[in-house]
Structure 1
Amino acid sequence: MPSTTLDPMRAVYPSLAGRRIFISGGATGIGEAMVEAFAQQGCQVAFIDIAAEASALLADRVAKQGHLKPWWRQCDVRSVGDLQAAIHEAAQELGDFHVLVNNVASDDRHQLLDVSPDYWDERMAINQRPAFFSIQAVVPGMKRMGGGSIINLGSTGWQNKAGGYPGYAVAKSSVNGLTRGLAKELGGLGIRINTVSPGWVMTVRQMKLWLTPEGEQEIARNQCLAERLQPQDIAAMALFLASDDARMCTAQEFVVDGGWT
């Protein structure tokens, strides 16, 4: 029977040792798992998040585990100026980034008839816009280094026609367009860009806010694999795509959903 204990260090990627990684939305959930996973590979991780207390606790925990202490800043990604300033500040202190992970997102529920133009813009400002402007900020540094890897976090929710968050669905469906629309241009600079689309990952937030007995039944009915998706499962795919083992992978979507989609 498969183990229910997930080990975030399933594989070691020698090419990642010493590389600099920038992650948006890194304090909790999938982002937290990725911060820890990259740190365990010997990377220097930088991350931003609006949750200052959780960010500080994560950075301290990683350092206490004997890894390089992550650089972090509190940042509201709805401000493009603040977002790009944080990336530039981190690069000035640590060096240009080899890897960018566009993870930040908010899947707050909302209904079609309740969405105002202001609320729509706010959903895009969190779930869509930061990825593009983070890429814009890191590409000059990747160009100086001769290459890099960009990992955009998508979602299978819109692909499975899940309801309850049309603004989020629109934003996440655009991630593949961003990935494929930039792949050729960035490929000429030696930069790979891919999408990782998680299924229903059992983060603390998901279990607290959205997981119901009916949701458990839906998972059991739709996933091909019985185990519940964990943040570390998404981090494992990000590690691969960041590494030289994925050197010829670009313009692709990698789905990690237990076989649901």
Structure 2
Amino acid sequence: MSHTVYPSLRNKRVIVTGGGSGIGAAIVEAFARQNARVAFLDIADEPSRELERKLASSETPPRYYHCDLRSIETIRELFPRIRSELGGVDVLVNNAANDDRHALGEITEKYWDERIAVNLRHLLFCAQAVVEDMKAAGAGAIINLGSVSWHLALPDLTIYQTAKAGIEGMTRALARDLGTYGIRVNCVVPGGVRTPRQIALWHTPDEEMRMLGMQCIKARVEPNDVANMVVFLASDDARMCTGHEYFVDAGWR
């Protein structure tokens, strides 16, 4: 499959959260193809190290950093280290999330706090950790990953969908606050993406048929489809795109 090359992304310093597998891994690979300098964060060491090995022959091989994004202290310690090794950050992709199912009656205060930490809180603090680099450069791109789930009100995902709705609000607020510095902030909204996790846990043949029935385009959304949108929004070709949501869902309604 051919891919668009964006010269503006060559040697750009990029951080991708949750980059070890699934959509995140596709995003890491997409930026590697652009010859960007990529740091990706995850807590899953085995798949992340395997991705590092897979991309080791790239012109600028991505680097893996173990990071539990639930810890704000860890974020504040790690980002200066990445900066010292790669330089000031040009692009942040806030991808990390976890869509575990949960019933309303089972939600505890502890579980709520943990799910919000996993799916929402770290996006703001990762943005906070890179924004001074972008201000100094007079440019930058922050791309947040949302979800079609809350637009559709899917079952058993109350906290996850609350977080994803919040991400779209955060995206618009940050775009307004940071636009004066030349920093663009956008949200990519994936649909039912065919990742190994989704196939293993929820995308049964019946569920796949249901999703295809709801989509305008009768083909599964792949991780690369999402990554292609992320790379475009990070490039100078999207220089006037900010404060909005960009759906990659095959028209799921």
TM superposition score category, shorter chain reference: over 0.9
Query: What residue is the counterpart of 1:119 in the other structure?
Result: 111
Query: What residue is the counterpart of 1:27 in the other structure?
Result: 20
Query: What residue is the counterpart of 2:51 in the other structure?
Result: 58
Give the Cα separation in 1 of the matches to 2:67 and 2:174.
25
Gapped regions of structure 2 (runs ≥ 5): none
Would you identify which runs of 4 or more consecutive aligned residues in structure 1 move more than 3 Å? none
TM-score between both structures, scaled by the size of structure 2: 0.98
Residue of 223, 231, 236 corresponding to 1:239: 231
User: Cα deviations across residues 136-183 of structure 1 (Å, max 9, x unaligned)?
Assistant: 000001111111000000000110110111110100010111011111
Residues 1:38 and 2:47 aligned together: no
Contact 1:22 1:46 in 2 (8 A): yes
AA aligned to 1:204 is P
Give the deviation of 1:226 after TM superposition: 1.3
Query: What residue is the counterpart of 1:229 in the other structure?
Result: 221
Partner-residue secondary structure (3-state), 1:42: coil
User: Cα deviations across residues 114-139 of structure 1 (Å, max 9, x unaligned)?
Assistant: 00000000000000001000000000
Residue of 194, 198, 206 corresponding to 1:214: 206
User: Cα deviations across residues 86-132 of structure 1 (Å, max 9, x unaligned)?
Assistant: 22211111101110000000001110000000000000000000100
Query: What residue is the counterpart of 2:196 in the other structure?
Result: 204
Structure 1 stretch displaced more, 29-38 or 85-94: 85-94
Matches within 5 A, 1:178-189: 178-189=170-181
Partner-residue secondary structure (3-state), 1:158: helix
Q: Percent identity?
A: 47
AA aligned to 1:201 is V
Gapped regions of structure 1 (runs ≥ 5): 1-6
Query: What residue is the counterpart of 1:4 in the other structure?
Result: none
Give the Cα separation in 1 of the matches to 2:22 and 2:206.
22
Give the deviation of 1:55 after TM superposition: 1.1
Give the deviation of 1:84 after TM superposition: 2.7
TM-score between both structures, scaled by the size of structure 1: 0.95
Give the Cα separation in 2 of the matches to 1:55 and 1:251.
31
Matches within 5 A, 1:136-215: 136-215=128-207
Give the deviation of 1:18 after TM superposition: 0.9
AA aligned to 1:84 is R
Residue of 99, 114, 127 corresponding to 2:91: 99
Structure 1 stretch displaced more, 79-88 or 43-52: 79-88
Give the Cα separation in 1 of the matches to 2:99 and 2:13.
28
Give the Cα separation in 2 of the matches to 1:84 and 1:63.
27
AA aligned to 2:179 is G
Query: What residue is the counterpart of 2:76 in the other structure?
Result: 84
Residues 1:254 and 2:251 aligned together: no
Give the deviation of 1:67 after TM superposition: 3.0
Contact 2:212 2:220 in 1 (8 A): no
AA aligned to 1:13 is Y
Contact 1:71 1:90 in 2 (8 A): no
Contact 2:38 2:62 in 1 (8 A): yes
Give the deviation of 1:56 after TM superposition: 1.0
Query: What residue is the counterpart of 1:47 in the other structure?
Result: 40
AA aligned to 2:234 is A
Contact 2:30 2:231 in 1 (8 A): yes
Alignment root-mean-square deviation, CA: 0.9
AA aligned to 1:139 is V
Structure 1 stretch displaced more, 146-155 or 66-75: 66-75
User: Cα deviations across residues 223-261 of structure 1 (Å, max 9, x unaligned)?
Assistant: 111111000000000010000000000001000000004
AA aligned to 1:171 is A
